[in-house]
Amino acid sequence: MKSSFAGLAEAIRKADSILLTTHSGPDGDGLGSVAALARAMRNQGKTTFILLPDAPADRYAFLDPNGEFRVFPQHRAEAEARTWDLGLVVDTHQKTLLGGVDDWMKDSGIRTLYFDHHPLSPDFDGTEIYGDATAVATGCLVYKLLVDELGWKIDKEIAGSIYISISYDTNSFKYLRNDPDALAICADLIPYGVDTTWVYRSLFASNPLRKARVLGWVLSHMEFSEDGRLASVSIPHTVIDEFKVERDDLRDAVTNILEISGVEIAAVLKEMAVGEVRISLRSKGNFTINQVAAAMNGGGHALAAGCEFLGPLDAAWDDLRPRLTGVMADAPEPSGA
């Protein structure tokens, strides 16, 4: 991973047309980052196109007031209607999270670069990846690229999109990882007219009723082991169908469980369809869990990671549980314990 963004900045300067994408199940960081980049590029006279692996959840509609988010492969023909000088993958470099968009770009002969803040995946086969795994959000990197490297001006819309990405990935600044850069960047963005209250309400205080109801089910079906330090819940597809929840509705469940006193690692297993389980992992800090996700063909940060499991829900937990208990057994006793 290249920590200097000079090469990326040069590629963007030379490109007249740029295609942007982010990971499947797009979130506030990925969407905010592509929205900010697209706006900044258009301000420089460049043609842009945002092509996502799948449709964003309804909660992110406020990020796309002009309907610029397109979905692959439904809008593939629209993207193929012109030639693209550059493809930029934002907020991930994992092929399993790109729904074939990066393969299509490469097959189309589009030079593809990656811009990410996740630790480098051991099976990543690309060479042109830029980023910093210590950054709390890709939005921080977008700001540094635009302001420090490209020297482009920020406007209200760009500032708002970057602020959204940072606010989202820090859970409204609860998880800063002792990184002062994020706060310094946001302090610089707010004078552009960012409405921080509106951002908070849009991201964290506009949850649909179905999300509250399924959260009640989650909290009443938690299980604890390892003297209460490991908390988990397995959500069968029948429950997901009953509450008619979207994937994004379950995104916060793992955090709700982790915040229980005494819990050090939380795991949520979501059977989105029969034989298709999405796993979310979180740690309070005494144990790293991204190696567990990586071993199950996933990835993420040291304290926030995830993966997918093809098979029955019970089998997913049978595979995952010994990996997590092994991490807890092998880790040194935390200082002050």
For 187-236, how does the pLDDT look when each residue is reduced to its tens digit (9 = 90+)?
999 999 999 999 999 999 999 999 999 999 999 999 999 999 999 999 99
pLDDT at 125 exceeding the cut of 90 = no
pLDDT > 70: percent of the chain: 97
Asked if the structure places residue 335 within a domain, the reply is no
pLDDT at 63 exceeding the cut of 60 = yes
Q: Which domain holds residue 169?
A: 6-204
Asked if the structure places residue 78 within a domain, the reply is yes
Q: Quick one: pLDDT at residue 232?
A: 98
Based on the fold, state whether residues 320 and 272 are members of the same structural domain. Answer: yes
CATH number at residue 195: 3.90.1640.10
Based on the fold, state whether residues 226 and 322 are members of the same structural domain. Answer: yes
Based on the fold, state whether residues 85 and 163 are members of the same structural domain. Answer: yes
pLDDT > 90: percent of the chain: 88
Helices (H), the chain: 6-14, 28-43, 76-79, 101-107, 138-143, 156-169, 180-189, 196-204, 209-220, 237-243, 253-258, 290-295, 313-330
Based on the fold, state whether residues 147 and 243 are members of the same structural domain. Answer: no
Report the candidate in 17, 16, 151 with the shortest Cα–Cα distance to residue 80.
17
Based on the fold, state whether residues 214 and 186 are members of the same structural domain. Answer: no
Based on the fold, state whether residues 160 and 279 are members of the same structural domain. Answer: no
Q: Quick one: pLDDT at residue 333?
A: 52
CA dihedral 28, 34, 35, 39 (to 10 degrees): 160
Whether 28 contacts 164, CB under 8 Å: yes
pTM for this model (two decimals): 0.90
Based on the fold, state whether residues 60 and 179 are members of the same structural domain. Answer: yes
Based on the fold, state whether residues 317 and 215 are members of the same structural domain. Answer: yes
Asked if the structure places residue 130 within a domain, the reply is yes
Based on the fold, state whether residues 35 and 141 are members of the same structural domain. Answer: yes
pLDDT category of residue 337 using cuts at 50, 70 and 90: very low
CATH number at residue 270: 3.10.310.30
Asked if the structure places residue 336 within a domain, the reply is no
End position of a domain, from candidates 148, 178, 204: 204
End position of a domain, from candidates 178, 204, 230: 204
Angle between helices 196-204 and 156-169 (to 10 degrees): 50
pLDDT category of residue 175 using cuts at 50, 70 and 90: confident
Structure tokens at 332: 């040194």
SS3 call for 336: coil
Asked if the structure places residue 218 within a domain, the reply is yes
Range in 34-38, 58-62, 165-169, 209-213 the model is least confident about: 58-62
Range in 92-106, 228-242, 251-265, 313-327 the model is least confident about: 92-106
End position of a domain, from candidates 181, 204, 227: 204
Based on the fold, state whether residues 154 and 61 are members of the same structural domain. Answer: yes
> Each residue of 275-312: pLDDT tens digit?
999 999 999 999 999 999 999 999 899 999 999 999 99
Asked if the structure places residue 184 within a domain, the reply is yes
Q: Quick one: pLDDT at residue 32?
A: 98
Residue with tokens 């992992």: 281
Based on the fold, state whether residues 57 and 90 are members of the same structural domain. Answer: yes
Asked if the structure places residue 1 within a domain, the reply is no
Based on the fold, state whether residues 190 and 231 are members of the same structural domain. Answer: no
Q: Quick one: pLDDT at residue 331?
A: 66
Report the candidate in 139, 174, 141 with the shortest Cα–Cα distance to residue 160.
139
Domain count, the chain: 2
Asked if the structure places residue 27 within a domain, the reply is yes
